[in-house]
Amino acid sequence: MYKKYADGLIEVICGCMFAGKTEELIRRIKTFEYANKKIIVFKPKIDNRYSKDEVASHAGSKVKSHPISKAEEIFKYLKDEEIIAIDEVRFFDEQIIDICEYLANNGKRVMVAGLDMDFRGVPFEIMAQLITKAEFVTKLTAVCTVCGLPATRSQRLVDDKPAKYDDPIVLIGAKESYEARCRHHHKVLGNSKMDVIEKLSLSIKKNENK
């Protein structure tokens, strides 16, 4: 799978909350460690849900990491590592995109993981660009907490009710704030864009029936 791109590549692991993104990243990290590959791991300092200096999954798996605030801080820690792993990559500034490209262009294997969409179902720009530029993309799904179908959306809940469309994009949390949902059970209050499309659809159907 990787032989053709042995001189540098980008891998993206994406999906909704509780899809196992970090768990998969940790699995790959440990696989390369078992093979005695030189690897370094980074995480955004803002993500301290389970640990300050470890990448940790909801399931409890952990690996040591360097918590950083800005993407450029990656260069402070790099030595002769062959593989760079970055969890929750969408929390970084947009420079992370160019840094990942630079590292891959210079022979490094870059593995990143993170949410592909926010709680509204809108793609994160950083993830969208990395997905486009990557050699390999793994999109994971969770299980919808309502119906059991594959879940691709992160349902934010405030007092057990769907969050509003204009609520802050960043709210770090886990089961107390989010659930995995399928397309059909994902709800966002005040989504004016969907309201406009629904009205447009009804209007066109009404005119066709005249």
Any idea which residues carry the catalytic annotation? Answer: 88
Cβ atoms of 129 and 97 closer than 8 Å: yes
Q: Comparing C-alpha atoms, which of 93, 154, 80, 114 is closest to residue 10?
A: 114
Cβ atoms of 52 and 66 closer than 8 Å: no
Output the CA angle 196-190-131, nearest 5 degrees: 80
Distance CA 43, CA 57 (A): 12
Output the CA angle 88-94-96, nearest 5 degrees: 60
Q: Comparing C-alpha atoms, which of 57, 68, 71 is closest to residue 26?
A: 57
| CA atoms within 13 A of residue 63's CA, in its CB half-sphere | 21
Q: Which two structure tokens, joined as six digits, stand for 72? A: 């450029």
Ramachandran angles phi, psi of 56, nearest 5°: -130, 135
Q: Comparing C-alpha atoms, which of 102, 128, 99, 95 is closest to residue 114?
A: 128
Torsional sign, CA 155, 156, 158, 162: negative
